[in-house]
Chain A
Amino acid sequence: MFILIIKNLLRRKIRTLLTIFGIAIAIFLLFSLLTFNQGYKNSLVKELDLLGVHMLAVPKGCPYEAASLIVHGGIIPKYLKEEDLEIVKKIPEVEIATPIFLAQLVEDDRISIIYGIDIESYQKVKKYWKVKGRFFENNENDKIVIGSDIAFQEKLTVGDEVYFKKIDKVYQVVGILEYTGGQDDGFYFLPLKEVQRIFNKEKQITAIGIKVKDLEKVDEVIRKLEEIPDLQIVTMTQVLGTILNLIGQANSLIFTIIILALFISSLGVINTMLISVFERRREIGLLKVIGANNWDIIKLLFLETLILIILGALLGIVLTISGNKFIETFIKGIIIHSPKKIEFNFDWKIATTIFLYSLTIAILASIYPIFKAINLRPMETIRSSDE
Chain B
Amino acid sequence: MNNEIILKTEKLNKIYLRGEEKVWALKDIDLTIKRGEFVSILGPSGSGKTTLLNLLSGFDKPTSGKIIFLNKDISLLEEKELQKIRSKYIGFIFQTFLLFPNLTVYENIVLPFYFNKKKINKEKIYEIIEKLSLTHRLKHRPSQLSGGEQQRVAIARALVIEPLVIFADEPTGNLDSENAFNIFKIFENLSKEGYTLVVVTHNWELISKFNVRKINLKDGRII
Contact = CB atoms under 8 A, between A and B. Distances in A.
A298 to B, nearest CB: 13
B115 A293 contact: yes
Contact of B115 (A7, A296, A385, A386): A296
Interface in B160-218: 161, 169-170, 173
A3 interface: yes
Interface in B94-111: 94-96, 98, 100-103, 107, 111
Interface string A253-295: 0000000000000000000000000000011001111111100
Contacts of B57: 379
Interface string B95-134: 1101011110001000110111000000000000000000
B94 A291 contact: no
A386 B98 CA distance: 9
A242 interface: no
Contacts of A7: 100, 102-103
Contact of A287 (B59, B102, B115): B115
Interface string A1-40: 1011001101100000000000000000000000000000
Contact of B157 (A290, A378, A386): A290
Contact of A10 (B50, B80, B95, B102): B102
A382 B173 CA distance: 14
Interface residues of B, number: 30
A4 B100 contact: yes
Contacts of B86: 289, 291
Contacts of A3: 103, 107
B102 A291 contact: no
Contacts of A377: 59
A11 B101 contact: yes
Nearest to A2: B114
B47 interface: no
A7 B112 CA distance: 17
A302 to B, nearest CB: 16
Nearest to A285: B98
Nearest to A289: B92
A379 B102 contact: no
Nearest to B167: A289
A156 B103 CA distance: 68
B111 A290 contact: yes
Nearest to B157: A290
Contacts of A283: 98, 100
A8 B103 CA distance: 9
A383 interface: yes
Nearest to A383: B50
A287 B114 CA distance: 10
Interface centre among A7, A287, A289, A296, by most chain B C-beta atoms within 10 angstroms, is: A289
A7 to B, nearest CB: 4
Nearest to B60: A379
Contacts of B100: 4, 7, 283
A241 B169 CA distance: 74
Contacts of B114: 1, 4, 292, 296
Interface in A331-387: 377-379, 382-383, 385-386
Contacts of A386: 94-96, 169-170, 173
Contacts of B98: 282-283, 286, 382, 385
Contacts of B111: 4, 287, 290
A289 B60 CA distance: 13
Contacts of A378: 59
Contacts of B83: 288, 291, 293
B92 to A, nearest CB: 5
Nearest to A7: B102
Contacts of A291: 83, 86-88, 112, 115-116, 161
Contact of A293 (B80, B96, B107): B80
A11 B102 CA distance: 6
Contacts of A292: 114-115
Nearest to A385: B96
Nearest to A387: B95
A244 B111 CA distance: 58
Nearest to B86: A291
Contacts of B102: 7-8, 10-11
30 contacts: A3-B103, A3-B107, A4-B100, A4-B103, A4-B111, A7-B103, A8-B102, A10-B102, A11-B101, A11-B102, A283-B98, A283-B100, A287-B111, A288-B83, A289-B86, A289-B92, A290-B111, A292-B114, A293-B80, A296-B115, A379-B54, A379-B57, A379-B59, A379-B60, A382-B94, A383-B50, A385-B98, A386-B95, A386-B96, A386-B173
Given A11-B101, A291-B87, 6 more contacts: A379-B50, A379-B57, A379-B59, A379-B60, A386-B95, A386-B170
* Top 4 closest pairs, chain A to chain B, by CB: A291-B87, A291-B115, A291-B116, A7-B102
Interface of A: 1, 3-4, 7-8, 10-11, 282-283, 286-293, 296, 377-379, 382-383, 385-386
